[in-house]
Structure 1
Amino acid sequence: MTTSSTALDIPHASARLDELLLYRRVAWRIMPLAIICFLFSYFDRINISFAKTQMQAELGLSDAAYGLAASMFFIGYVLFEVPSSWGLKKYGAPAWICRIMISWGLATAALVFAYTQYTLYFLRFLIGVMEAGFGPAILFYLACWFPKRYLARINGLWFLAVPLAGAVGSPAAGLILGKMDGLLGLAGWHWLFLLSGLPCVLLGLAVLWKLDKDIDSAKWLSPEQKHQLKENLKADRKPDSNGHGSIWRVLLTWEVGVFALIYFVIKSASYGLNFWMPNLIQLSGVHDLLMVGLLSSSPYIVACIGMLVVTRRSDKTGDRKSYLLWCMVASAIGYILACGFSGNPVALMLALVLATAGTFIAIPVFWTIPQSTFSGLGIATGTAAINSLAQLSGIVSPAMVGFVNDLTGISYMGMLAIVPLILGCIVLIAVFVKNPAKD
């Protein structure tokens, strides 16, 4: 009996190994380029935080004006996020992602012409318009290749670009600002925008060349492998009787509202860190720009490691809710401690590590929930709607922090104002979020 059972298990184990090797091959084909593209995407959002000191000195910006400039990106992004999903449907993911990357790269490079705060506001708005739809396009593309049992791990790999943008971009920005200031008559912050914008044009062309439109277009897969990938995705599909296959019904579901509120807070916490962490480190007594960049990178490095560990564990257990909940608890504690120890560089850095790890690990875990809730093109529309509404945090968070800082004259009070939002998010997760049904 035991021998027979073992013999029956061998073909199953072999098929499972073949499947894992197939998805590893798919991941190696898609993920390196996707991660690099998202790294530049995220750094283009936050590069203004590293340029803040030089820009404020040259353009005469207050903290409130800087916060508004940071927010202008998200006004354009939010206005054009959902309309961009229709371009995705018409032209396909690779072509649409290529268009997005080329246009936002050129707009970012154009920040060298921001000689007044008003041209800065306009160009930041334009970058947001050009980048709108990039995140949902990638999430939709990944969901067209990977079944939901792999999504947390795949999302975790892709969202590694978020902390990597800080981990790699922070010391790179410090080096550019410190060593290239005045080169060819350009300020250091001009070089920062040029060197973070122009490579996106080449990456956009690489996307069009490297990524296949769909599984059937992949010449590097055998017919049997294509069939297996499509069958696994088909097994994940839910009937559209709940209306989740309809674009407009997806937009009007209660899930979109709740998920958008939760993600709004996650992004508020992340942007609070992105746009104000270098400033907090400087105010704690660290003044060398390269050292500020190196210290800013350390919380992101810890977040990178945490993403890999937690998303793998979440996939293994199928538990999304608990991991998301505890990530936000860690974020709240880190925020409170960072504000309480803002004058002590060592204690501040430990608190920032906790806040950054909790906040950024929450992002890939969160996205497995809507990806498993919606189906078909409802994934693209649902994620676009959630992302669009949540990106309002990019308008609110930087401007709010700058306004509160100017109003109180205390450098950490704006960051502390984000804590009640995080506590409310914890309640929303505990009450409304349910784990997706296991396969």
Structure 2
Amino acid sequence: MDTTLQAGTKIRTFEDATYRKVSWRLVPFLMVCFLIAYLDRVNVGFAKLQMSQQLGFSETVYGLGAGIFFIGYFLFEVPSNLALHKFGAKVWIGRIMITWGILSACFAFVQTPTQFYTLRFLLGLAEAGFTPGIVYYLSCWYPSHRRAKIMAIYCMGSPLSGIIGNPLSGFLMGSMAGVSGLGGWQWMFVIEAVPAVLLGCFCFYYLDNSIAKANWLTSAEKQVLELAKSEDVKAVDPQARVGKVFTDPRVWLISLICFCYVTGQYGITLWLPTFIRSTGVSDPLHIGMLSAIPYMAAIVSMYFFGRSADKHRERRWHLIIPCMMGAIGFLALPWVMHNTALSLVFLSIAAAGILTCTPLFWSLPTAFLSGAALATAIAMSNSIGNLAGFTSGYMIGYLRDVTQSGNSAYYMIAGMLMLGAFCIWTIPARLVNR
């Protein structure tokens, strides 16, 4: 009995050590990639502070351009993730990063709304498949009971892009204005695009397409990882096929949930600099430094909820609570926008809740699907969900133009988050709590 117990403890210790090794190898690098991806996706929110005035773009033009990114993203999401499943992460993730880096730099030369719309659409096409591709890639390495914490750490790239990128964007826009005849916002696009291209090239050499091809793992380590993966696969739907994903009501439900929380996510990330400026702050560097505060709160929240979800093997309430935090934050904003400090408090509550939803959400599809069906479901839910980036960006800009106030937009976002929380509550606990 004691010998069996000791053997089991020894195996678990070795498994834990192996996963720590995998995590140190993969997660920091992928988190940095996500940081750069998110920065290149949303730095248009900072560029708006100068670009809209210089080019004569209205709030509606900016909102439509910011949102049209997600139309391209929607169209190419599923094909991109199926391509990753076929060609492997090292080639496909590298291709995505190089392409979007080049396109992001091209924004420095935008002069008309049509050019702005076209580049944002192409950027969406280029970046499609990155986030669901990484989610699928990590699901090939980690069993379900380890994913929430790992996804939380990976998704910290999003708030880190705000903490690092927002002050950097503000600094570049202020200090580089007029250099070589270009505006500060133009230099910001060029400089912040370079890391994406460099990291994309590095992907070809650093990432491994599977556990079996990872030369940095020993045979015993590969065996324990494959065993954990095979045990996890037994718990998912063995009959799931790619074609059935599109008629599976579970996948449509989680797609709606994704749409709801992404509405809030891009309400924060695309408009946060504008929200802060509306409280009376005008200097780009000061806006950048203040906008880092909500992202700091998000990092703490993401780690706490992700760790707790894995510890208790509970998914629903760990996702419902962050959704409601986001709703409360946005509902309070119309009443405190006259005060910068209070606005930052409620923007921090909103950001902490909304950005925490992302890593916890991905534990839903990975709980009941695997293989190509999982890759398809992840891409489908993410592509439909990210259409909220289009509707959210456009509607916020339109409502601000029409009402000359952001209040109606805040209520719209809060309503979507509450709908998302209700949809999560309807999911049977037995389906996802493992």
Tell me the TM-score normalised to structure 1 length: 0.96
- Alpha-carbon distance in 2 for matches of 1:96, 1:290: 36
How big is the shift at 1:239? 7.2
Matches within 5 A, 1:150-229: 150-229=146-225
The residue identity in structure 2 corresponding to 1:138 is I
**What SS does the aligned partner of 2:137 have?**
helix
* Alignment of 1:379 onto 2:374: yes
Q: 1:240–1:259: structure 2 CA closer, same or farther, 3 Å change rule? A: closer
* Alignment of 1:347 onto 2:342: yes
- Alpha-carbon distance in 1 for matches of 2:183, 2:301: 36
How big is the shift at 1:298? 0.5
Alpha carbons 2:363, 2:432 under 8 Å: kept = no
Alpha carbons 2:98, 2:196 under 8 Å: kept = yes
How big is the shift at 1:86? 2.6
- Alpha-carbon distance in 2 for matches of 1:93, 1:250: 22
* Alignment of 1:364 onto 2:389: no
The residue identity in structure 1 corresponding to 2:184 is G
How big is the shift at 1:390? 0.6
Alpha carbons 2:74, 2:384 under 8 Å: kept = yes
CA deviation profile, 1:123-167 (whole Å, cap 9, x unmatched) = 111110111111111111101111111100111111111111111
How big is the shift at 1:251? 2.1
The residue identity in structure 2 corresponding to 1:206 is F
- Alpha-carbon distance in 2 for matches of 1:100, 1:260: 23
Decide which of 61, 65, 70 is 2:61's aligned counterpart. 65
- Alpha-carbon distance in 2 for matches of 1:92, 1:15: 30
Identical pairs, percent = 36
Alpha carbons 1:319, 1:435 under 8 Å: kept = no
Pick which of 402-411 and 256-265 moved more: 402-411
Alpha carbons 2:251, 2:377 under 8 Å: kept = yes
Decide which of 125, 136, 141 is 1:140's aligned counterpart. 136
How big is the shift at 1:18? 1.2
Task: Quote the residue 1:259 is aligned against.
Answer: 254
* Alignment of 1:237 onto 2:245: no
Decide which of 111, 119, 122 is 1:115's aligned counterpart. 111
Tell me the TM-score normalised to structure 2 length: 0.97
Alpha carbons 2:236, 2:368 under 8 Å: kept = no
The residue identity in structure 2 corresponding to 1:316 is K
- Alpha-carbon distance in 2 for matches of 1:360, 1:72: 21
Alpha carbons 1:180, 1:187 under 8 Å: kept = yes
The residue identity in structure 1 corresponding to 2:245 is V
Decide which of 98, 101, 118 is 1:102's aligned counterpart. 98
Decide which of 271, 285, 289 is 1:290's aligned counterpart. 285
Decide which of 248, 269, 275 is 2:243's aligned counterpart. 248
How big is the shift at 1:412? 3.2
Task: Quote the residue 1:314 is aligned against.
Answer: 309
- Alpha-carbon distance in 2 for matches of 1:28, 1:438: 26
How big is the shift at 1:436? 4.2
Q: 1:95–1:336: structure 2 CA closer, same or farther, 3 Å change rule? A: same
The residue identity in structure 2 corresponding to 1:390 is G
Alpha carbons 1:77, 1:129 under 8 Å: kept = yes
Task: Quote the residue 2:74 is aligned against.
Answer: 78
* Alignment of 1:409 onto 2:404: yes
Alpha carbons 1:156, 1:365 under 8 Å: kept = yes
Q: Which runs of 5+ in 2 are unaligned?
A: none
The residue identity in structure 1 corresponding to 2:280 is G
